[in-house]
Structure 1
C-alpha cells in the first residue's frame, strides 16, 4: 500500500512556534549558559543527616506530556494528555562505606510495562569501598546498552529508542540481582558485571533456577581539545544471556507472538555504542542484537535494531536541536509490519537546565510493508530537582 503524504501536525507547529518565541524572551532575561549537572534546590544542596553516619537526599521527577497521533486510517487524529513519569527518590550514605537508594514510580503503567511496574521502581544497597570496586544488590537496571543506562531526566528525546525497548526487559530493563562495577584509568574505563533473575522487576519471580548474566565495558579513548573545543569519544560494548523459561521482553510476547517456541531456550542479547562530543555538538549511535536459540525444531530467531543521533546546542546552550534515525527488525527472516524505520526531529528548551525543560518531538514512522499513517508528535514538560 502506498504511504499517504503526511499532513503537518497543528499541535507540533504551534508548539515549535511557541518554543522559539518564548526562548527569545527567556534568553534575553537569562543569558547565562545552562549547566548539564543537576541543580538542587537550596534546602537539598547538602544531604540531610538523619542519624549518626546516615544521610538522606531527596530528588523528584515528573513528565507531563501531550501526544498527537495520526490514526491508522488517516480519517481522524488521536491526542491525549498524560503524566508519563512521576518519580520520587531517596538516597544517601550509611556507615561502613555503604550507600542506599530507593526510587518510587507513581505513573500509570502502560503496554508492556503493565505487569512489571510497581511503586518500588529501584532499590539499591551499595557497598563502595573504592572507585575501582562497588557491589550493588537489589532492583535496578541491567547494564546492557548506553541509552538504557542513561538517567531518565538526561534523555535526548521524550522516549528511549524503540529497538532497545522491545528487545530488553519491560520497565526499562529493570531486574533483581547483584552487580559489581567500578572505574579506572582516571575514570576513563568503566565496567559492570551482574547476575539477575532475568524475569523483570520484582512483581515477577525467577522463572527457573537459571540466572541472567550481563556485562558492559565503557572506554573513553579520546578526551582532549580539538579546534579549540572540548572533545570526547566514548565507546561501549555489552552482552547478556539466560536459559529462560519465560522471556518477558516485548520482542517475544508481542512481536513474535505468532512464532512457536518450546521452553527452555537461550536468550542472547549483545550490542555496542559510540558517542562523540565536540563542544556543543554530539553524534552518537547504538546497535542492539538478539538471538533466541531454542530446541532443534524451533526457529532460530535473530532480531536487531540501531539508531544514529545528531544534536547541537545553541543560543547559550538554552536550545538544542536533534535528529534521530532508527531501525528495528524483530525477525530477520520474515518481512512484517513490525519491521520499521523512524525519523525523529527534536527540540529541547532548557528553561532551567534539566530541572525545567520542554521537549518537542515529531516522529515520521515507516513500516516495511502495509504502510499506514501513524506519525506522532509529542510535547513534554520535565520538572525535577
Structure 2
C-alpha cells in the first residue's frame, strides 16, 4: 500500500522520498552494525531473583546501565555505581571493567553495546555478569564492590590441541605466577592488568594476560588469579587457547595475539600484528562522523533539488493558466497605448460617473471595463487624462 501511494505522486516527489529512504537505510544499517560489533560476546550468567519490567528495581537498573555507559570514556577502564530509590529492595549495584590494553573509545563501544545486550539475555533477572572480548559488565541487587568474586565461573577453550602439553602447562604456571605477583603489588584503585609474550617453540609464541578489578586489594587480586590458574589444567589442558573468567579477575592465554602491546612509557598501545582483513579498528565515532557527513551532503542536495523542482513546476502551472484564460500579453509598444476618443468614450460608457475612480491635476481616472478569467472577476483600469474636454 505504501509503495502504491508513492507511485501516484509526481516524479520529483518520488525522487525526494527515495533520497530520504536511501539515506535512512545506511544510517540504520551502520547503527545496527556498530551496536552488534562494539561488544564481542563471549559468555554470560544470569543471577539472583526474578524481576519484572514495571518494577522500581528495573527502573533503577535502566538508569544505572545508562550511567555506566556514559562513564565508559575514563582512562582507567573501570567504573562502579549504585542506583536506588531509597530502599534496599530497589537498590542495584553495577560495574564495568574494560580490557586494560584498550583505548577509551574502544572501551566505550564495548560498554555501550554490553549494557544493551546483557539485559536482553537476562530480561527477568535482578543480576547478571557478561563477558565480552573487550570488557566485562556486572550488576546485582547485592553489594558487589571491593570484594573478590570467583562465582559464577566460566571456562572457554579453543578446539585445537597443542603438542607438548606438559611443557605448555609448566610455561603457563610460571608466566601467570609472575604476572599475578606483579599486579598484586598495586594498591586499590590502580589498574591491575598485565600481559607477557613467551617463546614456546622456534616458531610459536604464547600470549598471556591477567586482570583484576581495580577495587580489589593486592591480596584479593592475587588470590583470585591463583584460583583461576588452578582451573586451567582440568578445563583446558593442552589447548592452544583458554580463558578462565571470574567476575573479579580473568586469566587468559593464546598462541595467537589477542591484545595490544603496551610499552613502558604508557603511550597509546599499538597492535602486535596488523588486524586481519575485514576487521578494521576504526572507532564507531569515526564511522558515524563519516556517514553523517555524507548523509548531510545528500540531504542538502535533495532539499535543493526538491525546492527548484517545485518552483519550476509552480511557474509552469502559472504559465499554463495564463494561456487557458486568454489573458492578453504584456503591452510592449508605444502604439498599443494610443486609443481613439470614440473607443475610450464607449469603454467608459460616455464617461459615466459610475465608472469614475477619481480625479487629479491632470484629469479623471475611469474604469475601462471588466474581464472574467477562470471564474475570477478582474478589473482593468486605464488612466485617461482629460484637459479642457480634449483627450491627451
TM category, shorter? under 0.3
Q: TM-score normalised to the size of structure 1?
A: 0.22
Larger radius of gyration: 2
* Bigger proportion of residues as helix: 2
**Structure-2-length-normalised TM-score:** 0.22
Higher strand share: 1
Which protein has greater RCO, CA pairs closer than 8 Å, 6+ apart?
1
